[in-house]
Amino acid sequence: MASITDLVVSTVFYLTELTLPIPLPYISSISLLSFLHAVQVSQAYRNILKENHVRIGWFQGLFAIIMMAAGGGSTVCLLRGEPVGILRNDAFWAVYGGVYFLTFSNEYFFSLLNAIPQALLQPILIVADGVLRGVAVAKIGVDGVRLGDIGPGKYVAMLLCGTLCGGGGGIWAGKQARC
């Protein structure tokens, strides 16, 4: 009989592998969790801005969304002297850019998101965010240090990189709010 730990681990890995097929020439599918996370970040940013969203330039808003979504992993890559992962991932740009475009340029899509009962939508979005954060902390933060050029046994580096992967987007978002 499998333990509860084995069940949780297998469920998390199953969720990370779920994809949605899309009819694009170079991207045949997107991660379901990435799509849900893009919805969460875009909806939160639009709700924070309220009616002021029309005063935000398109690229300024996209930059804010990208930094909230991938700021931690990107910061860790820069600290370790590695290429930033989102620059190698076309699906990331398609998902987050597409959802941002729909959320900010289409009142019907935003209204549809807000029409879904938040008691139903928010737990789904929070689970997607939590799974993606956990995977980022483990894969990019801890394993990236342990298996990379820094090497095993560098616990401070693992702690720092894991922490930045889990909360770096929020750090960048807070910095943007003060600018």
pLDDT averaged per 10 residues, the chain (length 179) = 83 88 84 92 85 77 87 85 85 91 87 91 92 87 86 86 81 56
pLDDT at residue 100, rounded to an integer: 92
The pLDDT of residue 99 is 92
The C-alpha atoms of residue 118 and residue 105 are separated, in whole angstroms, by 22
Angle at Cα 169 formed by Cα 167 and Cα 172, nearest 5°? 115
Pure H helices in the chain: 4-17, 32-49, 58-80, 90-105, 107-115, 118-135, 144-146, 155-178
Domain of 26? 4-178
Instruction: Give the list of residues 6+ apart from residue 64 with CB closer than 8 angstroms, or none.
Output: 45, 56, 173, 176
φ, ψ of residue 19 in degrees (nearest 5) = -130, 160
Residue 172: the pLDDT is: 66
Structurally, how many domains does the chain consist of?
Answer: 1
pTM score of the predicted model: 0.84
Task: Please tell me whether residue 105 adopts helix, strand or coil conformation.
Answer: helix
Pick from 101, 103, 115, 85: nearest CA to 48:
103
Q: What is the DSSP letter of 20?
A: E
DSSP H or E run through 29: strand 29-31
